[in-house]
């Protein structure tokens, strides 16, 4: 399962720090693929076709799937029904946005040479996934 989000993004007229879906915004396209589903959360892989400020956060929030730990676009913390305290604590106290760039590829601005970097999933995000899996039954 997955899909694409093709919605223009621009500066939120009500809050200059935020970005928003705006008809007169810049074109932005995000592709996503479901990796794993939990009771109230979904682990997804995202591929950007464009690179707008806060694009992943804005687009995923727009379709009802805000990032865990995102105070700007995430809204209130969502708990699965009958969530245990361990899971509630993990969701409440996750210290950052649950967002990780596994691979980054770009063309060097001066040389035009393609460059790429890879990074393993950080321990805090692996622990978050482990707790979500543990409490999915």
Q: What is the pLDDT of residue 112?
A: 96
pLDDT at residue number 137: 57
Per-residue pLDDT, 61: 96
* Contact criterion met (CB below 8 Å) for 9 and 28: yes
Cα–Cα distance for residue pair 59/49, rounded to 1 Å = 12
Global pTM value: 0.90
The per-residue pLDDT for 40 is 87
Half-sphere exposure of 82 (CA within 13 A, CB side): 4
Which residue blocks in the chain are alpha helix, DSSP H? 55-62, 85-93, 123-134
Predicted confidence pLDDT, tens digits, the chain (137 residues): 899 999 999 999 999 999 999 999 999 999 999 999 998 899 999 999 999 999 999 999 999 999 999 999 998 888 888 899 999 999 999 999 999 999 999 999 999 999 999 999 999 999 999 999 998 75
Q: Which residues pair with 118 in a beta bridge?
A: 103
- Rounded distance, CA 102 to CA 16, Å? 29
From the number of C-beta atoms within 10 Å of its C-beta (0-12, 13-18, 19+), residue 66 rates as buried
């Amino acid at each position: 399962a997955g899909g694409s989000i093709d919605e223009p993004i621009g500066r939120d007229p009500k809050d200059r720090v935020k970005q928003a879906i705006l008809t007169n915004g810049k074109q932005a396209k995000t592709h996503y693929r479901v990796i794993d589903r939990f009771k109230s959360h979904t682990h997804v892989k995202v591929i950007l076709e464009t690179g707008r400020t806060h694009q992943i956060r804005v687009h995923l929030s727009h379709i009802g799937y805000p990032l865990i730990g995102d105070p700007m676009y995430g809204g209130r913390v969502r708990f699965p029904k009958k969530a245990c305290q361990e899971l509630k604590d993990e969701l409440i106290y996750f210290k950052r946005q649950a967002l990780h760039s596994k691979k980054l590829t770009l063309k060097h601005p001066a040389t035009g040479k393609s460059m790429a970097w890879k990074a393993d999933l950080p321990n805090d995000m692996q622990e978050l996934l482990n707790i979500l899996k543990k409490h999915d039954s």
